[in-house]
Amino acid sequence: MDKRNLGSGLEVSAIGLGCMPLSFGYGPTPAKQPMIALIRAAVERGVTFFDTAQVYGPFTNEALVGEALAPVREQVVIATKFGYAIDAGRPAEIDSRPEAIKLSIEGSLKRLGVESIDLLYQHRVDPDVPIEDVSGTVGELIHDGKVKHFGLSEASPNTIRRAHAVQAVTAVQSEYSLWWRAPEAELLPTLEELGIGFVPFSPLGRGFLTGTIDETTTFDSSDLRYAIPRFTPEARKANRALVDLIAHVADRKHATPAQIALAWLLAQRSWIVPIPATTKLERLEENLRAAVVELTPTDIGEIDIALSQIRVHGARYPENLERRTGL
């Protein structure tokens, strides 16, 4: 698979793997060994970029990723995240105090089985801790050899600039897809100016853009989509126009809707690396083939014109979670 560079020289595969659903977030927890096999299958197919976080599980996802990648540690890039106070095994409030960061990173190093974390994101901006203090703390961890690169997740352009002035930010992670294009207004220009890579999560709209979900689909109460406004039956029905558009392009390009959604992201900037997630080998292989789907400028222009006539219905997060983004 082709490689791309994030920020200051962090080379990764053009498509990474979001590992959260392998142990958290989308219904009942999958069996461990098949998920280890899936991660290793991704490596065999050229994936070198794997995304996890302390809060996924919590903790169990880091351990799973660490075990799966131990045999190929020197061939891959592992990204994880800090920033939540996790009490009695359950995620609680945002906490990016310097002492909390340093303590939590020791746990991540042990669970991942590594001496240094390749890319460390602040999971969500902490309104009670100046971002300069966070950046400075990560800078100390980089100086100590415990972290190689610093990243931010769901941060505003102003926060990114302030953080980058203290410690170079290599990558920013936020939602970006054909049905969430808000980053185009201010975030992407800021990242381009500063030379920071962009890692879109939920590039397939949490599965909706694949065309496999409609208004009749049901979600388990342990599935994050169960509480997301955009996934109410009414919103799914209203948003079907977007899926139909993608399917039309896919038919013309002899590809699948998922591949078109990912190829569209790859065509936006050379420093964008999406991290689609899946628990199924056939979906993994389908997603990775998106790297060879070529969308011409004409294709992109036609998609943009069609998208301008489609209004997406429903918020992407419940209100209590939406307040934690874009700070």
Report, as residue numbers or ranges, the catalytic residues.
Answer: 56
Q: Position 67: which residue type?
A: E
Burial string for 102-119 (b: 16+ CB within 10 Å, else e) reads: bebbeebbebbebebbbb
Q: Let me know if 90 is exposed, middle or buried by CB neighbors in 10 A (0-12, 13-18, 19+).
A: exposed
The distance of Cα 15 from the centroid of its chain, to the nearest Å, equals 11
What is the distance between the alpha carbons of residues 264 and 243, in angstroms, rounded to a whole number? 14
Determine the length of the chain: 327
Do 154 and 121 meet the contact criterion of CB atoms below 8 Å apart?
no
Q: Would you call 233 helix, strand, or coil by DSSP?
A: helix
Region of residue 17 (phi > 0: left; psi between -120 and 50: alpha; otherwise: beta) = beta
Tokens encoding 201: 């999560």
* DSSP character at residue 179: T
H helix intervals, the chain: 32-44, 60-69, 98-112, 131-143, 157-166, 187-194, 233-238, 240-253, 257-268, 281-288, 297-307, 319-322
DSSP string, 14-50: SS-EE-GGGTSSBSSPPPHHHHHHHHHHHHHTT--EE
Q: Rounded to whole angstroms, how far apart are CA atoms 156 and 326?
A: 5
Residue 89, classified by CB atoms within 10 Å of its CB into exposed (0-12), middle (13-18) or buried (19+), is: exposed
